[in-house]
A and B are shown apart, each in its own frame.
Chain A
């Protein structure tokens, strides 16, 4: 059997589904999303839901800022309540080096119009009174940052896309990409060949394999990132809290659970098993920062993949293979970038125009110098 599509999107995560929805919105008729498992089976269904514009490089700040603007209106656009809540992001530093980085970032953010501000430990306690400020040097706060619940974002994009004619195939694995004379001709999905002019690699932690199918060597590497949820409690925490010195972050979900993670692994792997080491490390660090949380029980833990790049920033746009489009390498930030990435990648496919916001994230940039993103947390 053979099928013809305009665009085949590989990956039914938030990125792929946002791209597919935006393609349909731009009037592309035959868009098919190919997902090897179920929607949200990758990192999108495993993430913390954090959305922020406090970044450390100009391109990331601009891109994230636009995405945050879009998140503010996303429930209306998708006609699906994504439970978006703007409680802010509070970054905290426990040594001088981290604090001076934060100061530098805030300066850059402010120069680009982001309303972040430096806070003293006392001011941090005003924002979240349960904080233990021993050893805290200071931090930064941006009221406009927030969180959304990941599942309705995934489902909302899928439903809105399907309403516009997007075809979503679950449990359909892409096994090969057909390239002839330097341009994409189709993909092999399950038992079927699908002819198409564009293939979008939105395969998250598996993006490296997709590059290889097209014969490209990528710089992406998957790394396990673990996370946990406690029992649900009455609301007591507004912002996402990030201890940048410990790599710890946590927020309180709409259900009331404390959801949080801490960097534990760095070796490349697509394993997503949970580890004892992680719960212990997370518990130690969060108790140090919020001593009363010792009475709160962990309900469950799980893990997902960060698709890492050398500069911890995404790969967006075209490659030397015509029609082979990238939207991957999001490290810990793919959820918050999905709205803007969807819109601009769709625009690129529909019009051929590379938006200035995504231009800095080209696939070929690793051949030049690298300026890494410093705040790789949720």
Chain B
């Protein structure tokens, strides 16, 4: 019911039909779908309940970065369901709810929130001591998410050690480009991604890209990903390891997990190209199922062909918000409007014009005030902002919608960079914490490189060039390539400078000044 059958751009090739069980209830799913997508297609909106107030939880980012979608899968607790594929007979259970996830009696905690301010458990219920003991014991029962596994996993865990010249973490446009250019020079490469396919964010970009033709503009994002994948698979010296999540960098050694195998990778150089995660926004009920990251909705719709709802409200009018609006309409989903806090539209004029032509209202100098609904989004209230960013009293207006997409920007992933020991700085122009690096993308930690959105939020085009530079430089430092390779690397450095010369590059350049040494 919730699956798209036709789409003007994408053809959904669904796998074999299988049956999965949600809290014991059979549901139809297709191989190649994630558990989250399959449940959503079957109308399931509440996956679990939250830790403290037992508020309903659904998915948010759909790329494994927010932990909002955790459920018990085949007896294993706290599985991010947006990252596992369905299997015939799979048993999926909601967590932290009784008697069921739609009617959770502990939902009353949400109404009693005044009793539990932050840190309440240290300061309340101390005396008399017999009551404290009762309280500590009772409170304990309410803690924890998910149950201890009921069965032992039968398959034994394995350990593997790998050595390579360059380990590349993340196979989005940046990581793929690093692999191609370093691979070309002959370096021995290990390219890892936690997702089951390469391409990173590109796999959901069904639109034609902006930017210069030389760097893929005019081509659809999904096509760019296909081209990069085809190219990278030509190299025997590039070992692509998918479903491989890197969890740590220990003094130059990488720790990763692939299915049941713990992998220890000892590379000579590391390129961190882990992309970014979506930001959220603070407003009343911003955690209701139905409030999603823009990228999450794209993943659901463009990768798995599942309809996010009937009518969406978009928050943020940057390129992502504008493009998403267009993609929703393409898929036959209505858009009630776009809300933008700034007095002007954030994205490119061409995208905005297209959206306007289709009759979608753009509310500039407005923000979202609250979402309506108790178990899922049933509407939203927006409000006008004055020139001091204050709400204009009386300007509230209700919008009828059943889902809300937050597209207020991305923040670079920084965890692995910190672990690697790179010096980090907070640079608002680049989206958050980013590493200090030289013009060849090497961080303050020798041999550790960064590329793409992880180095600062920009575009796929710049991500690819940064990836090439990091790939070339790390291989050159290991003795691969010749004078020509060095010239190529330096040419890409000047290409980047060229690309950033436009009006949209000014902010980026200001940010880069703070971290490029």
Contact = CB atoms under 8 A, between A and B. Distances in A.
A256 interface: yes
A292 B151 contact: yes
B77 A295 contact: yes
Interface in B120-170: 121-127, 129, 132, 136-137, 139-141, 143-153, 157, 159
A76 B136 contact: no
Given A292-B150, A295-B77, A296-B148, A235 B136 contact: no
A359 interface: no
B75 interface: yes
A232 B149 contact: no
Given A81-B136, A276-B253, A295-B76, A232 B145 contact: yes
A283 B257 CA distance: 13
A280 B262 contact: yes
A62 interface: no
B146 A234 contact: yes
B149 A293 contact: yes
B250 interface: yes
A255 B141 CA distance: 10
B343 to A, nearest CB: 42
Contact of B123 (A81, A254, A296): A81
Contacts of B137: 85
Given A152-B122, A276-B250, A297-B78, A76 B143 contact: no
Interface string A218-252: 00000000000001111111000000000000000
B139 A254 contact: yes
B248 interface: yes
A155 B132 CA distance: 18
B143 A256 contact: yes
Interface string A75-119: 110011111110000000000000000000000000000000000
Interface in B244-276: 247-248, 250-251, 253, 255, 262, 264
Nearest to A291: B152
Given A81-B122, A276-B264, A293-B149, A235 B157 contact: no
A255 B144 contact: yes
Contacts of B253: 276
Interface in A38-79: 73, 75-76, 79
Question: DSSP majority for the A interface?
Answer: loop
A79 B125 CA distance: 10
B140 A292 contact: no
A254 to B, nearest CB: 6
A125 interface: no
B250 A275 contact: yes
B149 A234 contact: no
A255 B121 CA distance: 11
Nearest to B262: A280
A292 B147 CA distance: 11
A235 B255 contact: no
A80 B122 contact: yes
B157 A294 contact: yes
B252 to A, nearest CB: 10
Contact of A254 (B75, B140, B157, B255): B140
A254 B264 CA distance: 33
B122 A84 contact: no
Interface in B231-248: 247-248
A137 interface: no
A130 interface: yes
A15 B311 CA distance: 60
Contact of A233 (B75, B77, B132): B77
B248 A276 contact: yes
A64 B515 CA distance: 52
Contacts of A75: 126, 129, 132
Given A79-B126, A83-B121, A155-B122, A295 B144 contact: no
Contacts of B152: 291-292, 294
A34 B270 CA distance: 41
Nearest to A79: B126
B255 A234 contact: no
Nearest to B125: A81
B77 to A, nearest CB: 6
A231 B140 contact: no
Nearest to B157: A294
A375 interface: no
B146 A254 contact: no
Nearest to B249: A276
Contact of A236 (B78, B132, B148): B148
Nearest to B146: A233
A290 B10 CA distance: 47
Interface string A284-307: 000100011111111000000000
Contacts of B122: 80-83, 152, 155-156
Nearest to A279: B255
Contacts of B157: 287, 294
Contact of B126 (A81, A273, A293): A81
Contacts of A296: 77, 148-149
A270 interface: no
Given A232-B145, A234-B148, A276-B253, A295 B139 contact: no
A291 B121 CA distance: 33
Given A80-B126, A81-B126, A233 B248 contact: no
B123 A276 contact: no
B250 A236 contact: no
A265 to B, nearest CB: 14
B418 to A, nearest CB: 12
Interface in A263-282: 273-276, 279-280
Interface string A2-40: 000000000000000000000000000000000000000
A232 to B, nearest CB: 5
B149 A292 contact: yes
Contacts of B262: 280, 283
Contacts of A82: 122
B149 A81 contact: no
A255 B129 contact: no
A155 B119 CA distance: 12
A81 B120 CA distance: 9
A253 B129 CA distance: 20
The CB with the most chain A CB atoms within 10 A, among B76, B126, B141, B251, is that of B126
Nearest to B127: A76
A130 B146 contact: no
26 contacts: A76-B126, A76-B132, A80-B122, A80-B123, A81-B132, A81-B136, A84-B136, A156-B122, A231-B77, A231-B78, A232-B143, A232-B145, A233-B144, A234-B148, A235-B144, A236-B147, A254-B140, A255-B143, A276-B248, A279-B255, A280-B159, A283-B262, A292-B149, A295-B76, A295-B77, A296-B149
Given A83-B121, A235-B144, A292-B150, 16 more contacts: A76-B129, A81-B124, A82-B122, A232-B51, A232-B145, A234-B144, A234-B145, A234-B148, A255-B144, A256-B143, A273-B250, A292-B152, A293-B148, A293-B149, A294-B149, A298-B247
Interface of A: 73, 75-76, 79-85, 130, 152, 155-156, 231-237, 254-256, 273-276, 279-280, 283, 287, 291-298
